[in-house]
């Protein structure tokens, strides 16, 4: 193709664009205009490809002509769009139309539960303490009186990062680190994420939030534990029934679990409570003397109690959520019903 033929074709495309735009109604949306000019744009693309057939010494002039046609097309569309926006801005508002609702996000149900729990215990003199999610075996197990052959230390229960290191299975290491750093009296809450090799089912998840509490001082007894946790249960769960059950944990002695009536079924039995009518809220007990000694605290002088709970399970009961997996799906349709 000679340079003159190329320039003539570019001129024809320019004139045809002007004629066809003049025939298209000015109120036509830009995307519709593009659709009506689809064949014209195909010819423009073909003109671009044919630039390789122009003699090398004339390709600069051919490129200038091609860019002029393309810019004319883009400018015409921009003018159309600006005119449409201007007409829309001056159009009369229809006051009978419903407003457009936009949801800008909110706090997750588990976050709401954690904040509420923290506020309840803050009124009782507790402060928040944090710690690393990647822990050593000693802080996660050894300092908490776990025997060396405890099944929780096996790889089918715990996610190991390497020899002697792991993703913490509970936030109890924060309690040990706090007792090492500060002298009693101690009252702390330790919220955070923990990791276990659990199956993903309606009431379990491999990664979940946990919040633990610790109180250490002279003269602390099991009476203090029951009084504090019953106060929490009344504040958090309202008039729902609660019960303490004897249990066992390596780091507490004696130990007990606190159950609350299932908020999903009202105690009649469902998949969330596994048909029992009760939701296990937390495990608790008096801190084992071996744990106090491992953290450098005199167990003859001081005693303490501790508890640990999963806020996700509390969220299930609080918001009548039937399946814990809903908390991890990030489905806005679900979250916007609860988050605030």
Q: Is 134 helix (H, G, I), strand (E, B) or coil?
A: strand
Residue 108: count other Cβ atoms within 10 Å of its Cβ. Answer: 18
Task: Could you please state the CATH topology (level 3) that the domain comprising 109-335 is classified under.
Answer: BirA Bifunctional Protein; domain 2 (3.30.930)
Q: How many residues does the chain have?
A: 340
Residue pLDDT, tens place only, 25-60:
877 778 888 888 888 888 888 888 888 888 988 889
Q: Where are the domains of the chain?
A: 3-90, 109-335
Q: Which helix (H) or strand (E) holds 68?
A: helix 59-90
What is the band of 267 on the pLDDT scale with cuts at 50, 70, 90? Answer: confident
Whether pLDDT at 256 is above 90: yes
Q: Output phi, psi for 262, to 5 deg.
A: -60, 125
- Give the per-residue pLDDT at 205: 72
């Amino acid at each position: 193709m000679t340079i003159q033929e190329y320039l003539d074709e570019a001129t024809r495309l320019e004139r045809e664009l002007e004629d066809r735009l003049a025939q298209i109604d000015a109120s036509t949306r830009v995307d519709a205009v593009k659709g009506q000019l689809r064949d014209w744009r195909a010819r423009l693309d073909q003109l671009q490809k044919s630039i390789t057939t122009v003699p090398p010494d004339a390709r600069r002039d051919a490129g200038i002509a091609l860019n002029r046609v393309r810019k004319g097309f883009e400018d015409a569309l921009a003018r159309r769009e600006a005119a449409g926006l201007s007409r829309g801005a001056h159009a009369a508002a229809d006051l009978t139309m419903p407003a457009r609702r936009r949801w800008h996000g909110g706090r997750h149900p588990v976050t709401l539960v954690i904040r509420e729990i923290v506020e309840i215990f803050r009124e009782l003199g507790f402060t928040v303490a944090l710690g690393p999610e990647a822990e050593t075996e000693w802080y996660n197990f050894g300092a908490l009186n776990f025997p060396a052959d405890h099944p929780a230390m096996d790889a089918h229960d715990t996610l190991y990062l390497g020899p002697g290191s792991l993703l913490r299975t509970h936030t109890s290491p924060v309690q040990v680190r706090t007792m090492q750093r500060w002298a009693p009296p101690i009252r702390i809450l330790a919220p955070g994420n923990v990791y276990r090799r659990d199956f993903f089912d309606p009431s379990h998840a491999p990664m979940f939030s946990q919040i633990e509490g610790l109180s250490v001082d002279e003269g602390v007894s099991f009476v203090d534990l029951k009084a504090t946790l019953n106060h929490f249960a009344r504040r958090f769960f309202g008039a729902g029934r609660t019960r303490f059950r004897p249990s066992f944990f390596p780091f507490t002695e004696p130990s007990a679990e606190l159950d609350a009536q299932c908020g999903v079924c009202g105690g009649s039995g469902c998949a969330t409570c596994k048909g029992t009518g009760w939701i296990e809220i937390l495990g608790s007990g008096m801190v084992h003397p071996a744990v106090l000694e491992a953290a450098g605290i005199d167990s003859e002088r001081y005693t303490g109690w501790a508890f640990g709970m999963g806020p996700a399970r509390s969220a299930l009961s609080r918001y009548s959520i039937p399946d814990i997996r809903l908390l991890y799906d990030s489905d806005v349709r679900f979250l916007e019903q609860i988050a605030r």
